[in-house]
Each structure stands twice: as C-alpha cells, then as structure tokens.
C-alpha cells in the first residue's frame, strides 16, 4: 500500500501515519516514486520542492487531520513563499512570494506534506491544460490522448494517476469540477467567499473564482474545507456561516429533497447521449433513495452571464499581462494566443464595461437565487456536455478569445453548466457517476442554493455510499 497512494484516500493515509504503520517520509518517497514513474506520460507535476518537503517533516508537522499525507498545490494563484510558481505562463515564470497566502497557511496547518505544484493553462481560462511553459499538454490517466481538463488539470491527473491522494485546485468557471469530471474524481466548489483570497487578492474574477480540492472521497473534501473555510483578515465580504461544518454534515444523510433534473443544457440544447443517460441514471438513484425528482430548468439569462463572464475574465487577463509588461502588446514568446487575444479584446471594451459586466453577474445571481427559492433544493445536470475532449481541441493557439469561450465549438459549448454557479456564487459539485462506452469518466453535477454547502455535501456523501466510486481507478494508477 505504501507504494500505491491511489489505493487509499487521504483520510486513510493519515490514519496509517497516526498508527505508525507508515511514516510521512515513506509516504513522500512513494509519491516521488510515482511522479518519476507516471508523470513523464502525464506532464502533471512540476516545480518539485523535495527539500522543502523533507525539511517540513524534519521540523515537525502540525497535528492536523492530514498529518504526513503528500500534497500538491496548483501552479496558479495559491501564493507560497517556499514554492516558486510559473502561473501557467512564460511571462510569469519563476515568480516568488514573500508571504504565504491565507489559504496555503490553512492547508499547511492540516499537516500535509506539500512537495510541488501541478500544471494549469495560462490565465486559468481553459477547459484543458496545455500551457507552453510546461513544454506540452497535460494528459488524462484514463486515456492519454484525452485532456485531464482545466484549469486544475494537473491536479486532476495527479490524483487520478495515484501520485497523490488529493490535491489543491481552484475554480473560476469550473476549474475544479471540469478536471473532476474528466478524471473520475470528486470536485466541490463552495459558496462564494467560503474560502480566503488574501492577502494577495481581495477577490478573484469579481468573486467568481474560489479555491477547492480534487479528491477521491467526499470525506477528504469535507475535512479540508472545514480546515480552510472562513474569511481572512480584510476580506471584502464572506459567506453565510456554516451550521455544523462539512464533516459533521456528511455524518448523516440530508432530509429528503426536491431535485430538479436537466438532461440538456440549461438553455435546452441536447448533450452527448452517454452523458445525458448518466444524468438520468443519477436521477433514478436519487428517486430510489427517496428524493423527489422532477424535470426542471432555471429561467435565467445564461447568454448574458456568459458574455459578462467572458468580458470580466478578458479584462482580468489583460490586467495580469499589463502588471508585468506595462501597456505594450505581449509578444508571441511571452503570452500564448488566447491570452494575447484576451488582451486585444479587453482594449476594445468601453471603460465602463467591467462594472456593467459585474452588474450583469449580480442580476444573474439573483435570477438563480429565485430559482432555488421557488423551485428545487438541488439542481441535477451533467458537468460537461460530452466525455473528455481530445488533447489539442482547446489549445491556446487561437487569438480569437471570444470564439474560444463562446463560439459554437468553444468552451461554453463543451462546459455549459459549471460557470453558471461561479457567476451565481452558489455551491456545486461534480461526482464521478458515469462512464462512456470507451471507458472515460463522466461527471454528474449537483448544485444548491447560496450558502447551502452542508446540504449539498451531505447529499454527495449519501450518493457516494449508495454508488461507491473509489474502486474505479485509471489504468496507470494500478
């Protein structure tokens, strides 16, 4: 078992350490051996810091719930003074930080042994992870010709391949849930501002972005969320307080719920038949568990939301580039095509457009809040409109940023569900409940009203118990 981290979740590994069945150093050895054996095919783990990890063990790990468990952080956004970052970009390569971010301080306090970073696409704006700074695409352990998703694609691949039992990710438009769906994992996006953003940022993408985790079990996510939740000093706003906490919430099933099921996109377009069937099968499972399941679709202005999301993220990308090189245009050897296109597109927008787009996101959030207030407790849909895409389909070569996001073959067509809940701020999760005929994972998506994280994660745990997925593992994970 020591040589195969993918055989146990992080909670089980921490229990092994507590019983002294295995040492933190031995678990780190196993993780590094898995990197050496599996990462060349995946290109998922980068910027290894073995010395930092060894020193953390030698200095004494905090007595947290995951003491001694190997861990990886995403190479985007999570600032850590001992972990230089490329942020998925040649322009931002080898960035160093003077202080740890609040989220990383809380992660460290759980006792994990962080030893490196995982790949992400430049700017975090893709549903695939194929950044030039890493020398090639990140691939899916379930099928190397397919993407592991984005933007936390390296994290998803590393967990699915058994390199680590869980890993950090972040989600501004589905970036935890898309890799979870692609890699057969559990991914949970909390309510807006449930986790801290400081001190380097007040909010990400007008509040649409938030940290999260890629895990093989609901309990690992629940415990890590409890360890990290809560506003940090100076936060501009915070989420409604929890009642008992995520871990307590999964200790018993939720009340019987009203579940709205949607086996199309939320605007009524057909999705891949295998994905639609996975949604319907989950609906039947929920009915068997005693929940009330009825067809439902929110009456919300999704096209408006997608335009606003695209403009906010385009402006944010331009700001990131400008912070490094000023007002000159980025060169091809500095920024990939989509990023250069976002920079150019942002320059065409009226100076008032950013605040207008934020206002539209807020209007959309109220529309979605009304839907849950007047309708179901839970909305059930697919996570992606089809099984995992082939590598290269969402490369960043194109400079047409708007078409890349909103065109008929763009990312919103492929992932029409996830960003909706970044815009609304509501909690949402992807569960690995379906499989294509070719053996690729298919994620099923559940979402709840703003602040109802405990209700949602409790339902996820009930589903996990009724339809366990832990025994399904990618071929290279052993």
Predicted confidence (pLDDT) per residue in 321-372, tens digit: 999 999 999 999 999 999 999 999 999 999 999 999 999 999 999 999 999 9
Place of tokens 């890699």: 183
**pLDDT(5) > 90:** no
| Confidence at residue 113, expressed as pLDDT on a 0 to 100 scale | 98
| Confidence at residue 6, expressed as pLDDT on a 0 to 100 scale | 63
Task: Beginning with the edge strand found earlier in the chain, give each strand of the sheet holding 113-118 in spatial order.
Answer: 45-46, 113-118, 70-74
HSE at residue 419, side-chain half, CA atoms within 13 A, is 30
pLDDT bracket for residue 478 (50, 70, 90): confident
Catalytic residue among 85, 101, 148, 151: 151
pLDDT (mean) for 384-397: 98
pLDDT (mean) for 35-39: 97
Strands 441-448 and 378-382: antiparallel
Torsional sign, CA 137, 43, 412, 287: positive
Q: Which two tokens stand for residue 438?
A: 């070719």
pLDDT (mean) for 222-245: 97
Q: Angle, nearest 10°, between helix axes 24-42 and 153-160?
A: 110
Q: How far apart are CA 444 and CA 460, in angstroms?
A: 11
Q: Which two tokens stand for residue 369?
A: 């809040």
Q: Check if 175 is active-site.
A: yes
* Contacts of residue 385, Cβ cutoff 8 Å, sequence gap at least 6: 265, 271, 272, 275, 413, 414, 415, 416, 417
What residues pair up with 382 in beta bridges, in sequence order? 444
**pLDDT(148) > 80:** yes
CB 449 within 8 A of CB 372: yes
| Confidence at residue 7, expressed as pLDDT on a 0 to 100 scale | 81
Catalytic residue among 74, 181, 189, 424: 74
Phi, psi angles (nearest 5°) of residue 166: -160, 165
**pLDDT(3) > 90:** no
CB 239 within 8 A of CB 190: yes
What residues pair up with 214 in beta bridges, in sequence order? 167, 187
Which parts of 55-127 are beta strand (E)? 70-74, 113-118
Q: How far apart are CA 26 and CA 22, in angstroms?
A: 6
**pLDDT(414) > 70:** yes
Burial 278-292 (b: 16+ CB within 10 A, else e): bbeebbebbeebebe
Where does 5-300+359-477 sit in CATH, by number?
3.90.1300.10
| Confidence at residue 1, expressed as pLDDT on a 0 to 100 scale | 44
Domain ranges of the chain: 5-300+359-477
Q: How far apart are CA 217 and CA 185, in angstroms?
A: 8
pLDDT single digits (tens) 97-131: 999 999 999 999 999 999 999 999 999 998 999 99
Torsional sign, CA 346, 337, 178, 46: negative
**Cα 288 from chain centroid?**
29
Q: Which two tokens stand for residue 109?
A: 């306090």
Residue 265: closest CA among 251, 256, 255, 276:
276
In angstroms, the Cα distances linking 287 to 256, 319, 469 are: 10, 48, 19
Helix (H, G, I), strand (E, B) or coil at 397: coil
pLDDT (mean) for 41-63: 98
Q: Angle, nearest 10°, between helix axes 102-109 and 218-228?
A: 120
pLDDT bracket for residue 145 (50, 70, 90): very high
Residue 311: closest CA among 173, 438, 439:
173
Which parts of 185-267 are beta strand (E)? 186-189, 210-215, 258-261
**pLDDT(23) > 60:** yes
pLDDT (mean) for 419-430: 98
**pLDDT(265) > 90:** yes
CB 392 within 8 A of CB 137: yes
Mean pLDDT (the chain) is 97
* Contacts of residue 11, Cβ cutoff 8 Å, sequence gap at least 6: 65, 66, 217, 219, 220, 223
Element (H, E) at 102: helix 102-109
Q: How far apart are CA 14 and CA 227, in angstroms?
A: 15
Q: Check if 151 is active-site.
A: yes
Catalytic residue among 89, 120, 152, 175: 175
**pLDDT(460) > 50:** yes
């Amino acid at each position: 078992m020591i040589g195969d981290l993918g055989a146990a979740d992080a909670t089980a590994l921490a229990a092994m350490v507590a019983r002294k069945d295995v040492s933190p150093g031995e678990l780190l050895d196993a993780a590094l051996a898995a990197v050496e054996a599996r990462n060349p095919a995946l290109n998922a783990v980068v910027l290894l810091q073995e010395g930092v990890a060894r020193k953390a063990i030698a200095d004494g790990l905090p007595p947290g719930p995951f003491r001694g468990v190997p861990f990886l952080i995403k190479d985007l956004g999570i600032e850590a003074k001992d972990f230089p970052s490329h942020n998925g970009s040649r322009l931002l390569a080898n960035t160093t930080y003077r202080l740890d971010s609040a989220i990383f301080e809380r992660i460290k306090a759980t006792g994990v042994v962080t030893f490196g970073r995982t790949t992400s696409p430049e700017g975090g704006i893709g549903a695939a992870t194929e950044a030039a700074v890493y020398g090639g695409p990140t691939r899916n352990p379930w099928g190397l010709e397919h993407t592991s998703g984005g933007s936390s694609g390296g994290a998803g691949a590393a967990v699915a391949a058994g390199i680590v039992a869980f890993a950090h990710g972040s989600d501004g438009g589905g970036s935890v849930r898309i890799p979870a769906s692609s890699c057969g994992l559990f991914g949970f996006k909390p309510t807006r501002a449930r986790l801290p953003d400081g001190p380097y940022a007040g909010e990400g993408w007008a509040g649409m972005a938030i940290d999260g985790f890629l895990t093989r079990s609901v309990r690992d996510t629940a415990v890590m969320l409890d360890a990290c939740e809560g506003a940090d000093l100076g936060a501009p706003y915070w989420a409604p307080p929890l009642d008992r906490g995520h871990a307590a919430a999964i200790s018993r099933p939720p009340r019987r719920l009203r579940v709205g099921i949607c086996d199309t996109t939320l605007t009524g377009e057909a999705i891949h038949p295998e994905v639609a069937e996975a949604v319907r099968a989950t609906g039947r499972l929920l009915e068997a568990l005693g929940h009330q399941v009825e067809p439902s679709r929110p009456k919300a202005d999704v096209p408006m939301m997608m335009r606003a999301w695209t403009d906010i993220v385009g402006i944010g990308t331009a700001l990131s580039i400008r912070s490094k090189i000023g007002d000159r245009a980025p060169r091809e050897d500095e920024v990939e095509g989509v990023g250069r296109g976002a920079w150019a597109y942002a320059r065409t927008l009226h100076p008032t457009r950013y605040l207008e787009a934020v206002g539209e996101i807020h209007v959309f959030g109220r529309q979605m809040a009304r839907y849950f207030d007047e309708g179901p407790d839970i909305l059930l849909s697919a996570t992606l409109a089809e099984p995992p895409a082939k590598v290269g389909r969402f490369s960043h070569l194109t400079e047409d940023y708007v078409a890349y996001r909103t065109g008929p073959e763009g990312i919103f067509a492929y992932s029409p569900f996830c960003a909706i809940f970044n815009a609304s701020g509501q909690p949402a999760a992807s569960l690995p409940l379906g499989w294509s005929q070719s053996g690729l994972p298919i994620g099923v998506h559940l979402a709840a009203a703003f602040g109802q994280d405990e209700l949602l994660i409790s339902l996820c745990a009930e589903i996990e118990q009724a339809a366990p997925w832990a025994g399904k593992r990618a071929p290279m994970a052993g």
